[in-house]
Chains A and B, each alone.
Chain A
Amino acid sequence: MDLDFTIVFEAWPFLLRGVWVTLQLISLVLLVSAPLAVLVALARNSRHGWIAGPIGVLSWAMRGVPPLLVLFLVYFVLPQFGLPIKPFPAAVAGMTLYMMFYFAETVRAGLASVDAGQFQAARALGLPPARTFVRVILPQALPSTIPPYVSHATEVVKNSALTASIAVAELTGNAYQLIISTNRAFEILIAIAIVYGTIDAVLLLLQAKAERKNLRRALR
């Protein structure tokens, strides 16, 4: 057994294209699922059973099935309904569908941590409910959601590898192509492991920075 890492350098442009697709995928999923998660959290907290009930069941189901299955659901089932979908949008939709319910739970925990007196004070001041939520409640709820948000974000990074199975040419998918054509699995996998580790490390750094910023704001 001899390791030969020259393959990694030769194939680097191809892997780099995969990194780029992975980064686009992750960013889109994180961007799209955050606001949806707030909506889901509000729906689950709703006083109306006909809203909270179905969304609660959907949330339980989505968090209970494998992410791979959710990707297949979007990619294979939509065409069956006459809605053909390309791999990349299917990947964004599938991963968003899977992750937003996890994010919603962290948002719910954040909302629960806001003192009830804040709602009452806002109402006493005559602030409309929507404005109360956006200007008073959300800014207080968000800081405590940062650490769980980031740990879910690292899940998004790792789950993005699954989209290779629906033909998205992201990092793991491209690595797979290389493995099949070169038989140099170990070298290629070490290379992409380093890339995933780096993306995770960057997220953790961003988390530390965001927490410090919030702390400063709170102390001011």
Chain B
Amino acid sequence: MTFDTALLAKHLPELLSGFRLTVLLAIAILAISTPAALLLALARESAVPALSWLSAAYVNTFRALPVLVVLYFTFYGLPQFGISLSSVAAAMLGISIASTAYLSEDMRAGLRGIDPGQYQAARALGLPYWRTIRRVILPQAIRIMIAPYITRAIIIVKATSIAGLVAVSELTGQAYGLISITYRAIEFLAVAAILYLALNAVLALLQSYAERRFARAGG
């Protein structure tokens, strides 16, 4: 058993293009789920029972399901309803639907971390709801949310790997494809693992930067 560096060098461009798609997918999923999760968290905490109930139903449903099953819904299930998505779009949608549920719970914890007196004070001052959220609550909640948000972002990066199972050529999909062509595995999987870990390390750095920055702004 050897580590075939020549073979790896030959196929490295494919792995790197897979990595690029992984990064793009993760960014797109975060861009979709972040605002959706915030709305869902606000709905859950709202005084309107129907909104709160609907939000809870969404969150509890999608947190109970494997992301792969949600992905199969968007990729194999939607065409039955006349909606055919490309594999990349289906992966983006499927993983976003699932991630939104988890992320909204993280954000709810952040919203809960704000003293209720802040809401009451804003109302007493006659501040409208959205303005209260945007100018009073969020600036304080963001500081609490940074760590769980980055943790969630890392989970999302890892979740993009299942897109490979519906023929998206992201990092894991590319590695899998190369394994089935070359019958070698360790070379591609080792590089894929290193790239995932590097991406996570970057996110961790981003977290410490954000935490320092918001700590100063809040101080």
Interface residues of A (CB under 8 A from B): 1, 60-61, 64-69, 72-73, 76-77, 79-82, 154, 157-162, 164-165, 172, 175-176, 179, 183-186, 189, 192-193, 196-197, 200-201
Contacts and interface: CB of A to CB of B under 8 A. Distances in A.
Contacts of B68: 161-162, 164, 172
B185 A76 contact: yes
Interface of B: 1, 61, 64-69, 72-73, 76-77, 79-82, 154, 157-162, 164-165, 172, 175-176, 179, 184-186, 189, 192-193, 196-197, 200
Best-buried of A60, A69, A201 by chain B (most CB within 10 Å): A69
Given A179-B72, A189-B72, A197 B197 contact: no
Nearest to B160: A66
Contacts of A165: 165
Q: Is the interface of A mostly helix, strand, loop or mixed?
A: helix
Contact of A69 (B61, B65, B79, B193): B193
9 contacts: A61-B197, A64-B158, A65-B196, A69-B196, A77-B186, A158-B66, A189-B73, A196-B65, A197-B65
Contacts, number: 112
Nearest to A72: B189
Contacts of A81: 1
A186 B172 contact: no
Contact of A161 (B66, B172, B192): B66
A77 B189 contact: yes
Contacts of B159: 66
Given A66-B158, A158-B65, A176-B72, A189 B172 contact: no
Contacts of A65: 158, 192-193, 196-197
A69 to B, nearest CB: 6
A140 B90 CA distance: 47
A186 to B, nearest CB: 4
Contacts of B185: 72-73, 76-77, 79-80
B77 A186 contact: yes
Nearest to A179: B76
Best-buried of A79, A160, A161, A164 by chain B (most CB within 10 Å): A161
Given A176-B72, A186-B77, A159 B66 contact: yes
A64 B196 contact: yes
B110 to A, nearest CB: 19
Given A68-B164, A68-B172, A196-B65, A185 B72 contact: yes
Nearest to A62: B193
A76 B73 CA distance: 28
Contacts of A72: 172, 175-176, 179, 185, 189
B69 A172 contact: yes
B69 A64 contact: no
Nearest to A1: B81
Contacts of B184: 80
Best-buried of A60, A81, A165 by chain B (most CB within 10 Å): A165
A186 B73 contact: yes
B61 to A, nearest CB: 8
Contacts of B158: 64-67
A153 B166 CA distance: 26
B163 to A, nearest CB: 10
A73 B175 CA distance: 11
A26 B125 CA distance: 54
A196 B69 contact: yes
Contact of B64 (A67, A176, A179, A197): A197
